Amino acid sequence: MFSNFERIVKVIYREWKTSVVGTLDKEHPSEEVLACFLEDKLSQADKDLTQSHLLRCNKCAEYLSVQLRIEPHLSKDVPVSLLEKVKRILGSGIKDNIFEIALRLKDKAWEIIQTSGDVLVDQELIPAPVLRSRQINEFKEEVNILKDLHEFRILARLEIKSNKDFSLMIEVKDKQGRRINKSLRVTLIKNEVELESYISDTGNSVFENILPGDYRVEITQKAYLAAVIDLKVKA
């Protein structure tokens, strides 16, 4: 008798929780919902549910903070507690989610201007400041730069195709097991326009015939932004 009563209570509790929490809180809000939240386009009910979820879910709050790092804008109606949480995330390591690369393309060589990653020289990974101290700044035809971003290890390989264009290969591996992650989407963006986007079976995404300019590469997993590569190439 008691077990039946217990099951009935559990059913009632689940129904009550569903009615109180609502549909948005059954799972993580989609990328579209979070984008609408940032632009203050949600209904008041959905906005309240999204705020409630963000205050409890570090993963979604971190995603939100990455978006703010790329394009800082947020509704004035966001509660102070959420703003403080996002501010803490932004100030405590979210920069580690950004992989910065600035290069100069000159004839058949790359010159490294700035990078937050380590550069592969022969079989040695060398931090950019050490390269400068060794006066190594020019690489013939190809340059490989690697950086760990939270659970991912990302390799960016840039190869000169001509005096005017280059190719970009992005490889993403699990930082712990070094396994290639095949479920990630890699998207190349310029001037807020999506140029190409891939989910690769091999773990490598290759973008060909890229001209010098400012680019952003977004790496997403199930609609959540996992990492950003800020790429600037000067001619």
- For residue 62, the enclosing domain spans 2-92
Q: Single out the residue of 206, 205, 199, 203 nearest to residue 222, CA to CA.
A: 199
Instruction: State whether 117 and 188 are in the same domain.
Output: yes
Q: Single out the residue of 128, 134, 131 nearest to residue 114, CA to CA.
A: 128
Round to whole Å and give the CA distance between 9 and 13: 6
Burial letters 69-92, b for 16+ CB under 10 A, else e? beeeebeeebeeebeebbeebbee
- The pLDDT value given to residue 138: 82
Domain count, the chain: 2
How many other CB atoms are there within 10 angstroms of residue 154's CB atom? 23
User: For residue 23, is pLDDT > 50?
Assistant: no
Instruction: State whether 65 and 87 are in the same domain.
Output: yes
* Each residue's pLDDT tens digit, 109-118: 999 988 888 9
What CATH number does the domain containing 211 carry?
A: 2.60.40
User: For residue 171, is pLDDT > 60?
Assistant: yes
Round to whole Å and give the CA distance between 217 and 149: 14
- The pLDDT value given to residue 25: 44
Round to whole Å and give the CA distance between 124 and 140: 16
Q: Tell me the average pLDDT across 190-213.
A: 89
* 212 vs 75, more confident: 212
User: For residue 212, is pLDDT > 70?
Assistant: yes
Instruction: State whether 110 and 210 are in the same domain.
Output: yes
- The pLDDT value given to residue 20: 42
CB 53 within 8 A of CB 29: yes
Q: Is 165 exposed, middle or buried (0-12, 13-18, 19+ CB in 10 A)?
A: middle
- The pLDDT value given to residue 210: 94
Tell which of 92, 124, 158 closes a domain: 92
Tell which of 76, 92, 108 closes a domain: 92
When pLDDT is cut at 50, 70 and 90, the band that residue 156 belongs to is very high
* 28 vs 90, more confident: 28
Q: What is the value of pTM for the model shown?
A: 0.59
Tell which of 75, 92, 109 closes a domain: 92
Instruction: State whether 26 and 77 are in the same domain.
Output: yes
* Each residue's pLDDT tens digit, 55-72: 778 777 776 666 655 444
